[in-house]
Amino acid sequence: MSNKVLITNKQKKVKIPSGLRILIRRSCNAVLEFEGFEQPAEISVTFVDNAEIQTLNAQYRGKDMPTDVLSFPLGEDGKYDVDQDTGACLLGDIVISMEKAMEQAELYGHPLQREVAFLTVHSMLHLLGYDHEQGGLAAVKMREKEEAVLIQLGLPRTVSYTADQI
């Protein structure tokens, strides 16, 4: 089974480290494997700058400020559109602000790669229907899954994140 992760860089503020695209693909695959997702899947990941993610955040979430990552799930209740040519489930889009990822990596004292892997894993769980917006048990479960996948990727948490990075 092969998953397709389409990665596009639409920003020039942060140089994309070598190996980052491979790490993103590994992160997406690790979440799908962890969740027992059986069908082939297609995911799109786009790197943007703070200005672009702020525009998207304002447009889709009514929050006029930059954020680190946005997830645009295409499925609902575990049902996904399927690409007729490939048979892949279209899970959705992940948009990462590389500027914000760099700021957070510096803030938490870990490499940019670790931050981007975390944001990818976090977003992948959103694409699969997990949510932390209400807090409580759902947020705790999501955090535990993120942690388990990051450990599998060899990237255990080096810091304790706040309950949510707004």
Distance CA 45, CA 20 (A): 12
Q: How many CA atoms lie within 13 A of 107 on its CB side?
A: 12
C-alpha to C-alpha distance for 3 and 146, rounded to whole angstroms: 19
Rounded CA separation 5/139 (Å)? 26
Cα–Cα distances (Å) from 143 to 68, 88, 99, 117, in that order, read 16, 27, 23, 14
Helix (H/G/I), strand (E/B), else coil: 42 = strand
Q: Consult the annotation and say whether 110 binds a ligand.
A: no
Q: Specify whether the CB–CB gap between 86 and 97 falls below 8 A.
A: no
Q: Is 126 annotated as a binding residue?
A: yes
- Strand-pairing partners, residue 89, are 41, 82
Query: Rounded to 5 degrees, what are φ and ψ at 93?
Result: -120, 140
User: Residues annotated in the binding site, as ranges?
Assistant: 122, 126, 132
User: Residues annotated in the binding site for Zn(2+), as ranges?
Assistant: 122, 126, 132
